[in-house]
């Protein structure tokens, strides 16, 4: 319900209990891909700190927890100091207090689950050490923390979080094909780091892949390996197979040769829409409208620009004419048309 101020330049939105529960419900299935919740005594456990914070009275909290936090120490924490140094944004007492909550959570986890180590991104350092300090004062125990550097791209930006290029683990938000493509497109400069960060390939293997990559970067051996490993991890072998098939179809074979079965196989994975056949009547469907329908342009104006600038393709053939209309004559693999905007953004339209 209360956000962590670290890193963020603005106040967080406060979430309602319902929103939080929905978020938690959404996170759990994703974590299941990476953690075992049913591994006997060492199973992963997902807890909600609302369970112990929710009924904690303000006075009790100040007495039992707040008392142990010297404000002068809190003020020296990077997360707090950076916020105070900004003149355009302040820091509310609520957010300032976040550190106490997270520290207390650590103590609770120790009490309830014997948790002794807290791991997180480096922006969590202050919060983690606050928890270690609190545990020592309250329980007289030594707890531990470990952080890793936040992953940024070679140009300093955070990875996979930009507005347009956000990368989600949920296949409903980022399909296996899109997920795979994200990694295939990764900068050379970032491949090394990502292989080490995200895959559990052995050091030798990573070295070998990178060495091979160096011999001919154009083949992007490293990106391919990275994409394959991660897609399999997140979406399973099935997801990887579909992603590779779609990639092969779009970036390999001739579009004209496709069979309906092939297109059906990747239909759900590539941005796509089904349209009634009537749309093709009366001279055909204007490309501009088709681009919008396929989700390749947000508005007709944008679609028109794409076409005018030579970035629109129908079945991989440039369609630079605004008057270009789609007709059944453009069908490939039955009743589908492959649209493309730019070099690599594909969209599929299927007429029913």
Coil vs helix vs strand at 340: strand
Q: In this chain, which of 306, 324, 336, 338 binds RNA, going by CB under 7 A?
A: 306
Smaller CB separation from RNA, 109 or 293: 293
Minimum CB separation of residue 286 from RNA in Å reads 9
Under the binding rule (CB under 7 A), the answer on residue 223 touching RNA is yes
Binding of residue 38 to RNA (CB under 7 A): no
Residue 317, beta-bridge partner list? 314
Stretch that binds RNA, among 54-62, 101-109, 135-143, 245-253 (CB under 7 A): 245-253
Going by C-alpha positions, the residue among 311, 302, 295 that lies closest to residue 344 is 311
* 76 part of the interface to RNA, by CB under 7 A: no
Give, as one character, the DSSP assignment of residue 279.
Answer: G
Q: Which of residues 1-30 bind RNA (CB under 7 A)?
A: 11
Q: CA separation (Å) from 209 to 188, 191, 222?
A: 13, 10, 6
DSSP annotation string for 71-133: HHHHHHSHHHHHHHH-SS----HHHHTHHHHHHHHHHHHHHHH---EEEEEGGGHHHHHHHHH
Q: By CB under 7 A, is residue 301 in contact with RNA?
A: yes
Interface characters, 145-184, with RNA (x: CB under 7 A) = ----------x------xxxx---------------x--x
| DSSP codes, 231-267 | HHHHHHHHHHHHHHHHHHHHHTS-GGG--HHHHHHHH
Distance CA 258, CA 333 (A): 5
Q: CB under 7 A: which stretch of 141-149, 232-240, 275-283, 302-310 binds RNA?
A: 302-310
Q: Are 109 and 47 in contact, with CB atoms under 8 Å apart?
A: yes
Q: Does 324 bind RNA (CB under 7 A)?
A: no
Q: Does 88 bind RNA (CB under 7 A)?
A: yes
Looking at the Cβ atoms of 47 and 91, the one nearer to RNA is 91
- SS (HEC) of 23-52: HHHHHHHHHCCCCCCCCHHHCCCCCCCHHH
Region binding RNA by CB under 7 A among candidate stretches 28-36, 62-70, 86-94, 232-240:
86-94
Q: Does 200 bind RNA (CB under 7 A)?
A: no
Closest CB 88 distance from RNA, rounded Å: 6
Among 29, 149, 334, 342, binds RNA (CB under 7 A): 342
| Contact present, 292 and 326 (Cβ < 8 Å) | no
Q: For the stretch 291-303, what's the b/e string if a residue is b when 16 or more beta carbons lie within 10 angstroms of its beta carbon?
A: bbbbbbbeeeeeb
Q: Are 80 and 91 in contact (CB under 8 A)?
A: yes
> Is the separation of the CB atoms in 295 and 271 below 8 Å?
yes
The answer to whether residue 111 forms part of the interface with RNA (CB under 7 A) is no
- Asked if 93 interacts with RNA (CB under 7 A), we say no
Cβ closer to RNA: 44 or 189?
A: 189
Q: Which of 29, 256, 310, 328 binds RNA (CB under 7 A)?
A: 310
Smallest gap from residue 260 Cβ to RNA (A): 22
Q: Which is nearer to RNA, 97 or 129 (CB)?
A: 97
Q: Where do contacts with RNA occur on this chain (CB under 7 A)?
A: 11, 87-92, 155, 162-165, 181, 184-189, 217-218, 220, 223, 247, 250-251, 292, 298-302, 304-306, 309-311, 341-345
């Amino acid at each position: 319900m209360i956000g962590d101020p670290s890193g963020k330049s603005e106040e967080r939105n406060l979430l309602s209990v319902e929103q939080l529960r929905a978020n938690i419900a959404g996170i759990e299935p994703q974590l299941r891909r990476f953690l075992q919740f049913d591994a006997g005594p060492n199973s992963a456990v997902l807890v909600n700190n609302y369970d112990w914070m929710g009924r904690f009275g303000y006075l009790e909290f100040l007495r039992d927890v707040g008392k142990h936090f010297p404000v002068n120490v809190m003020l020296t924490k990077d997360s707090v100091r950076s916020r105070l140094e900004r003149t355009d944004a302040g820091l509310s007492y609520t957010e300032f207090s976040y550190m106490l909550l997270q520290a207390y959570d650590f103590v609770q986890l120790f009490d309830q689950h014997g948790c002794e180590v807290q791991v997180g991104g480096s922006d969590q350092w202050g919060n983690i050490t606050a928890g270690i300090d609190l545990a020592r004062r309250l329980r007289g125990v030594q707890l531990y923390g470990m952080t890793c550097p936040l992953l940024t791209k070679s140009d300093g930006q955070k990875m996979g979080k930009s507005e347009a290029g956000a990368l989600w683990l949920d296949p409903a938000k980022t399909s296996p094909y899109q997920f795979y493509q994200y990694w295939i497109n990764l900068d050379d400069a970032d491949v090394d780091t990502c292989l080490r960060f995200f895959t559990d390939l052995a050091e030798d293997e990573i070295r070998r892949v990178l060495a091979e990559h160096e011999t001919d970067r154009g083949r992007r051996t490293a990106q391919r390996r990275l994409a394959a490993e991660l897609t399999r991890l997140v979406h399973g072998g099935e997801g990887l197979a579909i992603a590779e098939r779609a990639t092969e179809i779009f970036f390999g074979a001739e579009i004209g040769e496709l069979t309906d079965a092939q297109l059906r196989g990747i239909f759900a994975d590539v941005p796509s829409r089904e349209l009634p056949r009537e749309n093709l009547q009366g001279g055909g469907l204007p490309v501009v409208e088709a681009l919008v329908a396929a989700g390749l342009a947000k508005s007709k104006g944008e679609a028109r620009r794409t076409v005018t600038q030579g970035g629109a393709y129908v079945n991989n053939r440039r369609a630079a004419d605004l008057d270009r209309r789609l007709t059944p004559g453009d069908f490939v693999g039955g009743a589908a048309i492959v649209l493309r905007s730019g070099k690599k953004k594909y969209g599929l339209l299927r007429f029913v």
